[in-house]
Amino acid sequence: MTAVAIPGVDNAPTTHERLLSWVREVAELTTPEEVVWVDGSDEEWTRLTDQLVEAGTLTRLKQKPNSFWAASDPDDVARVEQRTFICSVDPEDAGPTNNWMDPAEMKTTMLDLYRGSMRGRTMYVIPFCMGPLTAEKPMLGLQITDSAYVVASMKIMTRMGTKALEAFTAPDGTERDYVPALHSLGAPLEPGEDDVPWPCNEEKYISQFPETREIWSYGSGYGGNALLGKKCYSLRIASVQGRDEGWLAEHMLILKLISPEKKVYYIAAAFPSACGKTNLAMLEPTIPGWKVETLGDDIAWMRFGKDGRLYAVNPEAGFFGVAPGTDYHTNPNAMRTIEKGNSIFTNVALTDDGDIWWEGMGEPPAHLTSWKKQDWTPDSDEPSSHPNSRYCTPMAQCPILAPEWDDPQGVPISAIFFGGRRADTIPLVTESRDWQHGTFMGATLSSETTAAAKGKVGVVRRDPMAMLPFIGYHAGDYFQHWIDTGKRADADKLPKIFYVNWFRRDENKKFLWPGFGENSRVLKWAIERLEGKAAAVETPIGYVPTADDLDLSGLDVSKEEIEAALKFDADEWRAELPLIDEWFDKMGAKLPTLLRAELDALKTRLSAE
């Protein structure tokens, strides 16, 4: 039994040996006031949110049921890529795109930080499951955290609590494996010390140990840094599991597209953070007769089914969506989801009558409380909401949720879209010639940086498969894994790969393509390409539609703008080549020869233009 008697540590509703000993070990290290085993019940949610309101972390909204406003520390607003580490034994296994540290050294450093780090706080133990609980092999995790805000958010974002804990024991009585995920805000409280509304630490570490499938996070209470089931588990650790076991863990939304003839197609799409996944996932088509249903807005796990097709499952149970820009015109289904309540809004503005507001929601009210908790009026110099402010809301409330969203088999993917935020060069849509060419498109994907990660915004960088901050191993090996995946199925069963760009701009920086619901026109064209019904022009970069090939009926945009959005520009592409060269050189010997060959072929085709 435990040496130090920490209240609650032995109230474990489980006999799972490995789990119990780890919880005790962490409690002894971090010395919390008490340990609470999270059950995921509504009573628990009420108790925790009441407590968070009392502490000043949350403000209860008057205008939305069971919903809360939170303002973070102004320095804890996004993922911290500079402080994110892949701690593989061999630095080569982390590759050129990740920060690496030796696992033993990282553990020594972090054990020092964790020592006493939960003093004066409650340590919560959250059993959770990524993906359906009914899966043959449920993907389990155990997050330990000293943040009640994280517990509440995990209730929205994952399947957690008692029902997840039950899955830790297999039907035959054996103990199942799980990913231990340790999180501390790094803000111990001295006896009698007053807490702050958003405790965190200036020093931050987001560490993944791919070989031992462990996650250690310290110093941040925000989003992907702290909700460890999301980026840390479902992408960084899962990408390594996928490499080892022959499947893919991707930064992709999953949507269901239904044609006027009621034919069903499932599409997965990878765009970097804050580049349109959540919006596309909940799209309201503007073209008559077409319908979209949602299965996921951020992460897809894809495995081959018995029929040789690639099936996708969304590991999450909630949306953690970018708030600014979301309204009834751009994303009505997100608005309808949050209207139902049961949500947490972080770093948006608070209205005087107890509702939320953010930029893009129409006319601003005369007075707001900004995300910095300051008075805000339409004359203020700064936006009322942080550009990476988020709504955290249960998927189950989404009015267009696909009924099969919780099916452990997943859904068979017909098309994969890669996309980024590029003001130039990348056409609205390009179809790849085959899987290998599509892998090249993904591997060379580029995008302007956004506020979703700390650092400068608007800088073009390579973001392979929109996974730059999330690949848990060497990016060159990851590309090879993609190529190998394509060899494991018949070409006609593989999803067709497309490259899209909703963000091309004219010389006045205006978006050339209206985006949002109008993106349904691009989805329709892609599906018609699969069916062999739509035309395209072959260019050096792939198949690109002309304005006549797209269904533009009822669209109030000039043909010049559409053509500018669709344009393949050989000069712009020639300027892109050195950037791709530089990027591929970074992969060293691990760059798959087939991708080098794709680049060489592109160069040859471009020089003939």
Q: Which of 516, 525, 543, 573 binds ligand GDP (CB under 6 A)?
A: 516
What is residue 164's DSSP assignment?
A: H
What is residue 353's DSSP assignment?
A: T
Is residue 73 within the footprint of Mn ion (CB under 5 A)?
A: no
Q: Which of 234, 278, 330, 337 binds ligand PGA (CB under 6 A)?
A: 278
Is residue 325 within the footprint of ligand GDP (CB under 6 A)?
A: yes
Flag whether 333 is marked binding.
no
d(CA 470, CA 95): 12
CA-CA-CA-CA torsion sign (297, 282, 491, 433): negative
Flag whether 392 is marked binding.
no
Q: Which of 117, 346, 439, 519 binds ligand GDP (CB under 6 A)?
A: 519
Flag whether 98 is marked binding.
no
| Residue 324 binding: pick among ligand PGA, ligand GDP, Mn ion, none (C-beta 5-8 Å cut-off by kind) | ligand GDP
Flag whether 79 is marked binding.
yes
d(CA 317, CA 206): 22
Q: For the stretch 240-255, what's the b/e string if a residue is b when 16 or more beta carbons lie within 10 angstroms of its beta carbon? A: bbbbeeebbbbbbbbb
* Residue 388 vs 436, nearer CB to ligand GDP: 388
d(CA 58, CA 63): 15
Flag whether 518 is marked binding.
yes
Helix locations, 321-470, DSSP H: 332-339, 435-443
Q: Which of 103, 132, 138, 324 binds ligand GDP (CB under 6 A)?
A: 324
**SS3 sequence of 107-151:** HHHHHHHHCCCCCCCEEEEEEEEECCCCCCCCEEEEEEECCHHHH
Residues 33 to 92 in contact with ligand PGA, rule: CB under 6 A: 79
Is residue 221 within the footprint of ligand GDP (CB under 6 A)?
A: no
Is residue 278 within the footprint of ligand GDP (CB under 6 A)?
A: yes
* Residue 131 vs 469, nearer CB to ligand PGA: 469
What is residue 432's DSSP assignment?
A: -
Q: Which of 49, 143, 225, 273 binds ligand PGA (CB under 6 A)?
A: 273
How many other C-beta atoms are found inside a 10 Å radius of the C-beta of residue 515?
17
Is residue 330 within the footprint of ligand GDP (CB under 6 A)?
A: yes
Q: Kindly indicate which of the ranges 169-177, 227-235, 317-325, 575-583 contains the residues binding ligand GDP, using the contact rule CB under 6 A.
A: 317-325
Q: Is 200 a catalytic residue?
A: no
Quote the least distance from Cβ 502 to ligand GDP, whole Å: 4
| Residue 79 binding: pick among ligand GDP, ligand PGA, Mn ion, none (C-beta 5-8 Å cut-off by kind) | ligand PGA
* Residue 293 vs 298, nearer CB to ligand PGA: 298
Residues 138 to 157 in contact with ligand GDP, rule: CB under 6 A: none
* Residue 40 vs 131, nearer CB to Mn ion: 131
Is residue 277 within the footprint of ligand PGA (CB under 6 A)?
A: yes
* Residue 72 vs 519, nearer CB to ligand GDP: 519
Nearest C-alpha neighbor of 83 from the set 106, 104, 105, 112: 106
Nearest C-alpha neighbor of 311 from the set 263, 262, 268, 258: 268
Is residue 322 within the footprint of ligand GDP (CB under 6 A)?
A: yes
CB 215 within 8 A of CB 209: yes
CB 554 within 8 A of CB 543: no
According to DSSP, the β-strands at 99-100 and 84-86 are parallel
d(CA 467, CA 483): 16
Q: Which of 76, 298, 406, 549 binds Mn ion (CB under 5 A)?
A: 298
Flag whether 389 is marked binding.
yes
DSSP 224-257: HHH-TIIIIIIIIIHHHHHHHHT-EEESEEEEEE
φ, ψ dihedrals at 418, nearest 5°:
-105, 145
Is residue 452 within the footprint of ligand PGA (CB under 6 A)?
A: yes
Q: How many residues bind ligand GDP (CB under 6 A)?
A: 20
* Residue 221 vs 224, nearer CB to ligand PGA: 224
x-marked contacts with ligand GDP along 291-310 as a string, rule CB under 6 A: ------x-------------
d(CA 336, CA 338): 6
Flag whether 331 is marked binding.
no
Is residue 502 within the footprint of ligand GDP (CB under 6 A)?
A: yes
* Residue 64 vs 79, nearer CB to ligand GDP: 79
Flag whether 224 is marked binding.
yes
Of 87, 129, 232, 275, the active-site residue reads: 275
Q: Kindly indicate which of the ranges 33-41, 432-440, 515-523, 551-559 contains the residues binding ligand GDP, using the contact rule CB under 6 A.
A: 515-523
Structure tokens at 420: 């980024």
φ, ψ dihedrals at 306, nearest 5°:
-60, -25
Alpha-carbon distances, residue 133 vs 40, 168, 325, 579 (angstroms): 14, 10, 34, 44
- Sequence-ordered list of residues with C-beta below 8 angstroms from that of 14, at least 6 positions apart, any chain: 20, 127, 165, 168, 169
Tokens 């701690």 locate to 87
Quote the least distance from Cβ 222 to ligand GDP, whole Å: 15
Alpha-carbon distances, residue 520 vs 222, 259, 517, 537, 550 (angstroms): 33, 11, 6, 20, 10
* Residue 250 vs 297, nearer CB to ligand GDP: 297
* Residue 87 vs 565, nearer CB to ligand GDP: 565
Flag whether 517 is marked binding.
yes
Is residue 278 within the footprint of Mn ion (CB under 5 A)?
A: yes
| Residue 511 binding: pick among ligand GDP, Mn ion, ligand PGA, none (C-beta 5-8 Å cut-off by kind) | ligand GDP
Flag whether 223 is marked binding.
yes
| Residue 528 binding: pick among ligand PGA, Mn ion, ligand GDP, none (C-beta 5-8 Å cut-off by kind) | none
Q: At what angle do helices 435-443 and 475-487 cross, to 10 degrees?
A: 160
Flag whether 388 is marked binding.
yes
φ, ψ dihedrals at 179, nearest 5°:
-95, 115
| Residue 516 binding: pick among ligand GDP, Mn ion, ligand PGA, none (C-beta 5-8 Å cut-off by kind) | ligand GDP
Nearest C-alpha neighbor of 111 from the set 13, 216, 228, 196: 216
Binding site residues, ligand GDP, CB under 6 A:
271, 273-279, 297, 321-322, 324-325, 330, 502-503, 511, 515-516, 519
Binding site residues, ligand PGA, CB under 6 A:
79, 224, 273-274, 277-278, 298, 320, 322, 452
Q: Which residues are catalytic?
A: 275
